[in-house]
Structure 1
Amino acid sequence: MITQGELSGLILAGGQGRRMGGRDKGLEPFAGRPLVAHVIERLEGRVARVMVNANRHLDDYRALADRVIVDAEGGFQGPLMGIYSGLLAAETPWLVVVPCDSPALPDDLVARLVAGIGQADIAVAHDGERLHPVVALMRTRLADDLAVALAAGERKIDRWYARHAWCEVDFSCCPEAFANLNTDDDKRRLEQALLRRAHEESQTP
């Protein structure tokens, strides 16, 4: 079994936020805190170190995470470049990758990815209807192969996964946990849903 000390966490927050008017999505306010702070909570205490992959507002992210890493190559090349940068930076044999815009990820996300990976090199969350490629557990030794893929122009995460032994991990019991926020309307809807859930739970004897 993979232990906490063998795990690093990586939150992908290095995008341009185009669908949010170019704003830095990870720092968007959500339920009174930066969006990324909610995601950090899902990793803290479950991994040896929480890293954020960011390309802007680095000091703001440093105030929240154990370490901030920028893309190994500039130009906002997408999440696969962020994953590569995290694989290079990790000091553990395993890396858990999550996006910065999914504040409702399951509390037991890391434990379930670890339990589900078996002999595979990569485990990817599946919500019962679709795969979530940026919610994954992977071996950090894959960095060299990813460097080769990136150099060849690969930018599709699923195509890179297909080069390796990978598996799905079933999260069909909580598909709503993987809601991600791409627009202001998405943010408002999820804030309201989480407030309703918190209120319902507070009313349960």
Structure 2
Amino acid sequence: MAATPSMSPHQQLDAIILAGGEGRRVGGRDKGLLDWQGKPLIAWVIECIAPQVKQVYISANRNIEAYAAFGYAVHTDQSNDFRGPLAGIAACAAHCSSDWVLVVPCDCPALPNELAEKLLATAVSESLEASYAVDEARAHFLCAVFQKQALEGLKTRLQGDDLSVKGWLKTLRCKPTAFAGMKDAFLNLNTLESKRR
């Protein structure tokens, strides 16, 4: 059954935190476990996201025990060749039980408390398969909510050459959700330089 606006977000959403990247912009280090203001980046993301959803799943391809120590199920990519964020989403989506799935990266430690609610409201009210966040500066394609049913097509998508999240979103019924005045909430610490700020 599709989600309805009368249900609170945490009753109808699971979340996938993507921490399975190669960390090329941080010298090959495991980005989700890098320290930021006294805690691993992923710890900040979990604190933001867990209260907004029913269940959290972590996509990771190394340091599995370290990620599992945060208390949530960890799933690795289903193929050995690195296929990017879509592979991580697909690996976790198979375990999600809610009708909707929130996807976020592990390197955005200050995500909005109403991220899930606003994205879901857009998707439900406009009968979409997905909605992603935008602020005044840019679009955030990896801060998005998806109908779980739409994720089933990822297995086929991963067999092709276009593995960009933006390209995949173009194949779905999808519109952005505006987060006006919240650019800092989507602070993306994807380089060692940005972590030092």
Query: Structure 2 length normalisation: TM-score?
Result: 0.91
* Contact 2:32 2:42 survives alignment (8 Å): yes
1:144 aligns with 2:152: yes
Aligned to 1:194: none
1:105 aligns with 2:135: no
Q: Please list the CA deviations of residues 117-143 of structure 1 after superposition, one character each: whole Å capped at 9, or x if unmatched.
A: 221110100012311110000011123
* Contact 1:88 1:140 survives alignment (8 Å): no
The structure that is helix-richer by fraction is: 1
Cα deviation, residue 16, structure 1: 0.8
1:9 aligns with 2:26: no
Structure 2 residue runs of 5 or longer lacking an equivalent are none
1:70 aligns with 2:60: no
* Contact 1:99 1:135 survives alignment (8 Å): yes
Structure number with larger C-alpha Rg: 1
Aligned to 1:95: 101
Task: Give 1:158's match in structure 2, choosing from 143, 146, 166.
Answer: 166
Aligned to 1:172: 180
Aligned to 1:44: 50
Cα deviation, residue 83, structure 1: 1.5
1:181 aligns with 2:189: yes
Following TM superposition, the consecutive aligned residue runs of length 4 or more in structure 1 with deviations greater than 3 angstroms are none
RMSD, aligned CA? 1.3
* Cα distance in structure 1, aligned partners of 2:83 and 2:195: 25
Query: Structure 1 length normalisation: TM-score?
Result: 0.88
* Cα distance in structure 2, aligned partners of 1:6 and 1:123: 15
What percent identity do the matched residue pairs reach? 37
* Cα distance in structure 1, aligned partners of 2:129 and 2:186: 22
* Contact 1:13 1:54 survives alignment (8 Å): yes
Between the two proteins, the alignment pairs up a number of residues equal to: 189
Cα deviation, residue 87, structure 1: 1.8
Structure 1 residue runs of 5 or longer lacking an equivalent are 190-205
* Cα distance in structure 2, aligned partners of 1:57 and 1:69: 11
